[in-house]
Amino acid sequence: MIRVRLFSVTATGNYCIGVSTEAAPTIPEWVVNGQLLDATISVGNESDLYRFQALRQGDYIIETSGQTDTIPTLFGPGSQSVRLAQNDDALII
């Protein structure tokens, strides 16, 4: 599970998020190596949740792009409270 928030708690703005690889029903799921999702943080201190399935062992790169400064955080497996990784703009897991 990935949570994305903006670096500034008062900022708002659009961003894209995607997941790719090298060698909860209400949380949107996106496909590894699929299309980027366009998203918006419209209220200060808001965060968006996404989920994906790592179908094979290897490194996964989760990155955001756009005009806003995001902080993606990886949670899991199957948890919104067990933080596995966090970094400004991209995660390599």
pLDDT for 25: 44
**Are 32 and 86 a contacting pair, CB within 8 Å?**
no
pLDDT for 90: 65
- Provide the whole-model pTM: 0.63
Return the exposure string of 17-35: e unless at least 16 CB atoms fall within 10 Å of the residue's CB, then b: bbbeeeeeeeeeebeeeee
Q: Which of 59, 75, 78, 93 is nearest to 4 (CA)?
A: 75
pLDDT for 24: 40
